[in-house]
Amino acid sequence: MDLDGDTLMYVIDRTMGDFKYFHMDLPNNGKVLLSRTVDYETIQELEVIIHAVEMTTRERQRTTTRVRVVVLDGDDQYPQFLPCQYMSHDGLRVCVSPVYSVNITAGEEPTGPFVFSPGPIYAEDGDKGIMTPISYSILSGPGSELFQIDNITGSVSHINTLESMPGPAMFHIKVMASQVCDSRKFSLAEVKIRVLAPNKYAPRFTASQYKAFVQEDNNPVALVSTYNGRVLNLMPSDGDFPNGTNPRIQLSLANISNHSKLFQITQSGFLIARANLLQAPQTFNVKVIARDEESGETANSSLIITVLARGQAAPRDPSEPQPLFPQPDLPIIAAGLGVLGLLFAILLFLLIRLVKSHRLQQQQMSQTSLMTEKHPTVSLKWFQSVNPSKSSPQGEEQGYQNAAYTETPGEENPGLEEARLVPAKTDGQSVKQQKRMPAVAVISPGNQCIGNSPCRNKQELSGGDSDHGTPIQGCGDDPSNDGRRGHQSTEASASGKQQ
């Protein structure tokens, strides 16, 4: 207001404050209007600077004022479950309801409300300046009749004992939070209730401390091993399971120094190292944590990892008994096996030669036995076989040939006489007889000249032709001498032309 009554013009300072939210209705009436909607959840207070300037005077005197605008909250927001997970959408922050979960054990009597994760079931009005009261309820669905909720506090508990609870071991129910004064403004949240078998045993590692080794290498990934080069496995056991393996175990490494960059553990219990970042003889102390996702129980174990040089083997387990003899090298074993194989081959060759020689000797003995069977009264002292593959050019007789034989004298002939064989003639020509070593035939006393004896077969000693020699007189020629013992020996002389 001007005391002189001069006309004033009002101008918003567009260099400072929240001028973008305001504008003047008319330059001379001083009415300030909002240019856009104001959200209480975004901004609770505005400030604008307005100038008043004289329009009808030469001096153009002016004045300035600062206007503060307080934003009041309106009932335009819905209830929100906490803790809220905010997400951006078209430049706005949207609250996403969390998922509440709890594990309960079968057979336990109701003792109070469930303790959920990540926190208790709680919702509040989205209008922070109004904070309208909230009411909770469970929507109808599978398992909703087994649980109850406090409509003011939001605490959930079961109605019946777990033994009488049918259906699956996991229940999914919906909880609704609505304004007391306006039930059309509400929000929903999911609640998971998992029923567990009675838990008697906590997860447990086989040792409170493990000793592990890993070789430095250029490869970025390497499995960590323990004594004797065995691959290390850190899977804990759980006595609540028949095979001792709990599928709900979650393995992790404690955040100590930079170990998380060098080592990682799989859910199967194997430890992986980045070997290209390790150098011998570094040593690391790593803590392993095993958590049962159902019961929430945990187990801890420490791990001492020693970095070995490239190609260095892991040491032996000190708890194992030491061998009496040092373990030989593989090349020595291979060389020894090769030598044994060569010796075996030589022995096998010699054995085959020995068997063949024995068979040949057996054949010769069989031929000798056959000859004896054909002439039972003749005992061969020496013989030589003729090679049947070589035919005689003169048509000589093949087989066993004796150059001489002797008879054993009987009672009437005490002396020994030699019977000499002369070469036979064929077609008037003398046949060259093959050279033979002398053989001795012995006729035992008392044997009769029967069968195939030499004295019985006169033609054999005379060369097969009676015209070329004188036959030997045998005792068997006289049938009247059947009772006589012994026989007489005669000397056969060659007849014909001497060569």
Q: What is the CATH number of the domain that holds 53?
A: 2.60.40.60
Q: Show Cβ contacts of residue 163 under 8 Å, excluding neighbours closer than 6 positions.
A: 106, 107
Residue 330 lies in a domain: no
Residues 102, 179 within the same domain:
yes
Considering the domain architecture, whether residues 105 and 186 belong to the same structural domain is answered as yes
Q: Would residue 364 count as lying in a domain?
A: no
Contact between 251 and 290 under an 8 Å Cβ cutoff? The reply is yes
Q: What is the rounded CA–CA span in Å between residue 365 and residue 489?
A: 31
In a domain, residue 172? The reply is yes
In a domain, residue 360? The reply is no
- Per-residue confidence band for 162, with pLDDT thresholds at 50, 70 and 90: low
Based on the fold, state whether residues 121 and 43 are members of the same structural domain: no
Three-state secondary structure string covering the chain: CCCCCCCEEEEECCCCCCHHHEEECCCCCCCEEECCCCCCCCCCEEEEEEEEEECCCCCCCEEEEEEEEECCCCCCCCCEEECCEEEEECCEEEEECCEEEEEEECCCCCCCCCCCECCCCEEECCCCCCCCCEEEEECCCCCHHHEEECCCCCCEEECCCHHHCCCCCEEEEEEEEEECCCCCCEEEEEEEEEEECCCCCCCECCCCEEEEEEECCCCCCEECECHHHCECECCCECCCCCCCCCCCEEEEECCCCCHHHHEEECCCCEEEECHHHCCCCCEEEEEEEEEECCCCCEEEEEEEEEEECCCCCCCCCCCCCCCCCCCCCHHHHHHHHHHHHHHHHHHHHHHHHHHHHHHHHHHHHHHHHHHHHHCCCCEECCCCCCCCCCCCCCCCCCCCCCCEEEECCCCCCCCCCEEECCCCEECCEECCCCCCCCCCEEECCCCCCCCCCCCCCHHHHCCCCHHHECCCCCHHHCHHHCCCCCCCCCCCCECCCCC
Amino acid 284 reads F
**With 90 as the cut, is the pLDDT of residue 188 above it?**
yes
Contact 264, 284 (CB under 8 A): no
- Of all helices (H) and strands (E), which one includes residue 367? helix 330-374
Most confident of 222-226, 330-334, 471-475: 222-226
pTM over cut 0.75: no
The answer to whether 109 and 98 have CB atoms below 8 angstroms apart is no
Name the domain boundary from 308, 342, 361: 308
Rounded to whole angstroms, the Cα distance separating 196 from 199 reads: 8
Asked whether residue 189 falls in the same domain as residue 102, the answer is: yes
Tokens of 433: 């007889």
| pLDDT category of residue 26 using cuts at 50, 70 and 90 | confident
Query: Per-residue pLDDT averaged across 101-120, rounded?
Result: 86
Confidence of residue 243 (pLDDT cuts 50, 70, 90): confident
Q: What confidence tier does 1 reach under pLDDT thresholds 50, 70, 90?
A: low
Per-residue confidence (pLDDT) for residue 350, from 0 to 100 = 92
Q: Do 122 and 113 touch, CB atoms closer than 8 A?
A: no
Q: Total domain count for the chain?
A: 4
Q: Which of the 8 DSSP states describes residue 236?
A: -
Query: How many percent of the chain have pLDDT more than 90?
Result: 32
The answer to whether position 318 is within a domain reads: no
Same domain, 44 and 119: no
The closest alpha carbon to 249, from 258, 240, 262, belongs to: 240
Q: Which domain holds residue 154?
A: 80-196
Most confident segment among 83-97, 116-130, 441-455:
116-130
Answer for the pair 131, 124: CB distance below 8 angstroms, yes or no.
yes
Query: Does residue 66 sit in the same domain as residue 84?
Result: no
Query: What pLDDT shows up at residue 134?
Result: 96
Same domain, 185 and 85: yes
Name which of 476, 469, 463 is nearest 495 in CA terms. 469
> Band of the pLDDT at 368, cuts 50, 70, 90?
confident
* For range 388-392, the mean pLDDT: 45
- Domain check: are 185 and 228 in the same one? no
Q: Are residues 54 and 87 in the same domain?
A: no
Q: Sign (positive/negative) of CA torsion 155, 160, 161, 162? A: negative
Q: Are residues 258 and 214 in the same domain?
A: yes
Q: Which of 289, 308, 327 is the C-terminal boundary of a domain?
A: 308
Average confidence score pLDDT of the chain? 76
What is the predicted pLDDT for the residue at 254?
Answer: 86
**H-type alpha helices, 425-471:** 458-461
- What is the residue whose two structure tokens read 């393996």? 245
Residue 167's pLDDT is 47
Interval 402-431: pLDDT, tens: 444 444 444 444 443 444 444 444 444 444
Classify residue 394: in a domain, yes or no: no
More confident residue, 347 or 59: 347
Tell me whether residue 127 is in a domain: yes
On whether both 490 and 407 belong to a single domain, the answer is: yes
**Residue that is last in its domain, among 284, 308, 332:** 308
The reply to whether 18 and 45 lie within a common domain is yes
